[in-house]
Structure 1
Amino acid sequence: MARRDYEDDPDAPEANSLVPAASVVVVGDDGRVLLQRRADNGMWALPGGVMEIGESLAGCGVRETREETGLDIEITGIVGTYTNPGHVFAYDDGEVRQEFSICLLGRPAGGELQVSDESFEVGWFTPEQADGLSMTSSIRKRLSDWRSGRIPVVR
Structure 2
Amino acid sequence: MREDGRLLAIRRADNGTWELPGGILELNETPEAGVAREVWEETGIHVEVDQLTGVYKNTTRGIVALVFRCKPSGGTERTSSESTAVSWLTPDEVSERMAEVYAVRLLDALDDNGPHVRSHDGKQLIPTG
Q: Which residue of 1 aligns with 2:2?
A: 28
Structure 1 stretches lacking a partner, 5+ long: 1-26, 89-97
Q: Secondary structure at the match of 1:110?
A: strand
SS of aligned partner of 1:141: helix
Q: Which residue of 1 is the match for residue 110 of structure 2?
A: 147
TM-superposed deviation, 1:38: 0.3
Query: The residue matched to 1:48 in structure 2 has which SS?
Result: coil
The C-alpha deviation readout for 1:15-38, integer Å capped at 9, x for no partner, is xxxxxxxxxxxx011111010000
2:96 paired with 1:132:
yes
Residue 104 of structure 1: aligned partner: 68
Deviation, structure 1 residue 81: 0.8
Determine helix, strand or coil for the equivalent of 1:50.
coil
Q: Distance in 2 between matches of 1:121 and 1:153?
A: 28
Number of residue equivalences: 118
Give the SS at the match of 2:110: helix
Higher Rg: 1
- Residue 63 of structure 1 is aligned with which of 6, 14, 37? 37
Structure 2: runs of 5 or more not aligned: 120-129
Residue 86 (structure 2) aligns with: 122
Higher mean C-alpha displacement, 143-152 vs 109-118: 143-152
Q: Which amino acid in the other structure matches residue 125 of structure 1?
A: L
Q: CA deviation at 1:154?
A: 5.9
For each residue in 1:5-60, what CA deviation from the matched residue of structure 2 results, as whole angstroms up to 9, or x when unmatched?
Answer: xxxxxxxxxxxxxxxxxxxxxx0111110100001111001010000110000000
Please give the TM-score of this superposition, normalised by the length of structure 1.
Answer: 0.71
Question: Equivalents in 2 of 1:81, 1:153: separation in Å?
Answer: 5
SS in 1 for 2:59: coil
Partners in 1 of 2:118 and 2:84 — Cα distance?
A: 32
Contact preservation (8 Å) 2:68, 2:109: no
Structure 1: distance between partners of 2:94 and 2:117: 24
Percent identity, please: 36
Q: Counterparts of 2:107 and 2:76 in 1: how far apart (Å)?
A: 27
Paired position in structure 1 for 2:54:
80
